[in-house]
Amino acid sequence: MISDITAICMTHGRWWLVAEAVESFRRQQLGDLRAEMWIVNDCPMCELVCDVPGVRILQGMMPFSDLSEKYNWAFARLESRYWCVWDDDDISLPGRLAQGVAMIGDHDAFRPRLCWNWGRMCWAGAGTIRGLGQPLTCSATFSTAACREVGGCTIGQWSDKSLWEKIWPRRNCLQIEQAPHEIQFVYRWAGIGYHDSGAGDPNAFNRAKNFREAMHRDKLFRYGRVEIEPVWHQDYCQLVRVAIQQGKGAVRL
């Protein structure tokens, strides 16, 4: 059965973050919506295993040159009408997929103007919502056809930036500023550059290479077969409710 939307999670053996990303998918309130999650893991030394319904792990390939090449590889295999970014270090609240499909319609892309901002060091530690921030494509929902028509991401450039800059001129993108209780995305950063989002080196191929090397040195990294056990280390829905009660959704950071 072909899904309506595919959540694409790019990772390189970061099982400890993928566990929360899978739990975000498992909690989605889908109704009649058909959804799936792809975990694209280009880390030959770490085999990920997951038995959550709707989750598919694509692995066994050699590492991609950069994140743009990795996304384009996934685009070529998609059968769903829509897809969304499902970064391994971010949190998607239970209404994200249904909201994305409802909003995008016949648009090329739907992107909320605001997200909940968590900040750095997001694994297994106590934390709180800092307030509202401005996400880029990490919270967006895209038309698969539109991404193919523009040629996907540009190899050697920032994957998200290059894709959006190709799609935006078509003038068929929906961007809205949601009320705090409508925001379904929590932006976090794991504290180490992930393929494309680390600051410092303008060269995408160097960023990917440096990221892989850093992952293999990380104390949490495991060689061999790793079973993903979905978990949220905190109740992110409750943290958002607290942030709203405290007025953190009233202003932008």
How does the average pLDDT of the chain come out, rounded? 90
251 lies in a domain? no
The pLDDT tens digits for 2-17 are 899 999 999 999 999 9
The pLDDT of residue 251 is above 70: no
Whole-number pLDDT of residue 131: 87
Phi and psi at 131, nearest 5°, equal 150, -155
The pTM assigned to this predicted structure is 0.93
Count structural domains, the chain.
1
Alpha carbons 60 and 38: distance in angstroms, whole number: 14
CA distance 100 to 109: 9
Rounded distance, CA 105 to CA 109, Å? 9
Residue 103: count other Cβ atoms within 10 Å of its Cβ: 15
Determine if residue 131 is left, alpha or beta; phi over 0 gives left, psi from -120 to 50 gives alpha, anything else beta: left
Lowest mean pLDDT among 94-103, 143-152, 182-191, 244-253: 244-253
Is residue 231 assigned to a domain? yes
Residue 78 lies in a domain: yes
Cβ contact 68:155 at 8 Å:
yes
Contact (CB, 8 A) for 144 and 153: no
HSE-up of 47 (CA within 13 Å, CB side)? 4
The answer to whether position 250 is within a domain reads no
Q: Is residue 56 part of a domain?
A: yes
- State the residue range of the domain holding 193: 5-245
Query: CATH no. for residue 111?
Result: 3.90.550.10
